[in-house]
Amino acid sequence: MAQQEFNLKTELQRKAVHATSVLIVLLYFVLPKAAIVLLLTLFLILFLEVEFIRIDLKWKLPFFHKLYRAKEAESLSGNVFFLIGAIIAISAFSKAIAITAILMTTFGDAAAAIFGKRFGRTWIPKLENRAVEGCMAEFLVDLLIGFIFLDSWLVILVMAGTATIVETVVMKMDDNLLIPLFSGFNAQMLSYIIASGRLPVLAIPG
pLDDT 10s digits, 157-200: 999 999 999 999 998 899 999 999 999 999 999 999 999 887 77
Q: What is the model's pLDDT at position 123?
A: 86
Please state the domain extents for the chain. 2-195
- Position 2 scores a pLDDT of 37
- For 25, phi then psi, to 5°, come to -65, -45
Is the pLDDT at 6 greater than 50, yes or no?
no
SS3 123: strand
C-alpha–C-alpha distance, residues 7 and 175, integer Å = 20
Q: Over 50: is that where the pLDDT of 5 sits?
A: no
Q: How far apart are CA 176 and CA 178, in angstroms?
A: 6
The confidence score (pLDDT) of residue 86 equals: 96
Distance CA 162, CA 154 (A): 12
- pTM, two decimals, is 0.86
Contact 182, 166 (CB under 8 A): yes
